[in-house]
Amino acid sequence: MKTTIVKSISFYLLVICIVGSTISSNAQNKSQQPVFVLVHGAWHGGWCWQKVSEKLRAEGDLVYTPTLSGLGEHKNMLNKDVDLNTHITDIVNLIIAEDLHHVILVGHSYAGAVITGVADRIPERLEKLVYLDALLVDNGQSALSLNPKESQDLFTKTAMDFDQGLSIPSPSSSWFGLTDSIAVRWTNDRLTSQPYKTFTQPLVLKHPYGNHLPLIYIACRNPELAVLEQFADQAKKSKAWKYYELNTGHDAMISMPAELATLLSTFK
């Protein structure tokens, strides 16, 4: 009888210890800083952050590099319903499912629209927003509408010719400012077509742009994509933004990963 009681007490003590350890672990995860979530731009995937994430993780940082629906390794999921809201939901779901807090949310290029949408929905999970050579899409605007009329027409015609308007085929990686032949070939092998509706669907915001979070803009100005010049200048002139420059082309995570990782580390 005594043996049975002792065993029962030991069992319950074990359960209490396990539960206590789990609660402690969860509390540590919630307070852990920083948590980087790196969101790729159009035609890319989580793969593009490989070297940046390696450096950040080597410094002990927690880093997530999700791939948006219909792109990269998820290209088999491309369908007519994938739009900007889908991509915003991708990142919101990741942050909630992984129970992430104090997130430094980084959006490259097209993903400027994505991270702005995420901030509009779950600002309490985020620490700051970092726009890496990104579009600054405001309420009612779309990625397509921010392009000149001739570019809009070209994107639309290219999508129709490619797969009847389902997606926009990727340009060569040299268009993103890559010049190293190995980097060009590696990137070209991984680029996938961009779901067309992600470019055409207007962003809907219920709160002010950025939802009161700190805003950071990193411009890649050598060479600079013409469509992004206005946004870099806007951030540079505004007191609401912290502004930085990298002396490289648009795909800085591939052409200048070490320097980019070092810069991101200063935002912790």
- Contact yes or no for 194/115 (Cβ under 8 A): no
Tally Cβ neighbours within 10 Å of residue 208. Answer: 10
Q: Which two tokens stand for residue 114?
A: 């994505």
Query: DSSP labels for 67-98?
Result: --TTSGGGGGG--TT--HHHHHHHHHHHHHHT
By annotation, the residues acting in catalysis are: 109
What's the token pair of residue 253? 């995570």
Residues 114, 39: contact at Cβ < 8 Å?
yes
Rounded to an integer, what distance in angstroms lies between the CA atom of residue 44 and that of residue 196? 14
Which residue, chain included where needed, has tokens 């396990």? 18
Sign of dihedral through CA atoms 118, 122, 245, 259?
negative
